[in-house]
Amino acid sequence: MVMKAAVQSETRTIPAGEFKAKCLKLMDEAVITQQPFTITKRGKAVGKFVPEQSEEKHSRPFVGSSPGIKILGDIISPLPQEWTLPEWMWDKPKKSGKKAKKKK
């Protein structure tokens, strides 16, 4: 019978001053390598950074998410002129007219 020993990676030890100066870089490296590290202050361990296990979420494109969706033409070009507002309506705010009083 052959038994394989589990290989335990050695935890890095980083002084608190170095961690303070390089914390974002150290955290990024730990996440990429999935290696935890221990933070020490005057030689004594005060904390440990253990990166989360990354779970990649698979994104689905909108068009591919439904078999009933089909693109029938150019969706990038500007709208035709007849589908847009006339230029004279662009900057004018709508008038809030007062309702006429009905005579009884």
Find the CATH number of the domain harbouring 35: 3.40.1620.10
Per-residue pLDDT of the chain (104 residues; tens, 9 = 90+): 555 555 556 788 999 999 999 999 999 999 888 899 999 999 999 999 999 886 665 555 555 566 677 777 777 887 776 677 777 777 766 666 566 556 65
The whole-model pTM stands at: 0.44
Domain that holds residue 26: 12-49
Q: Which two tokens stand for residue 22?
A: 């390089």
Asked whether residue 99 is assigned to any structural domain, the reply reads: no
Answer whether 13's CB lies under 8 Å from 38's CB. yes
| Distance separating alpha carbons of residues 6 and 41, to the nearest angstrom | 30
Domain count, the chain: 1
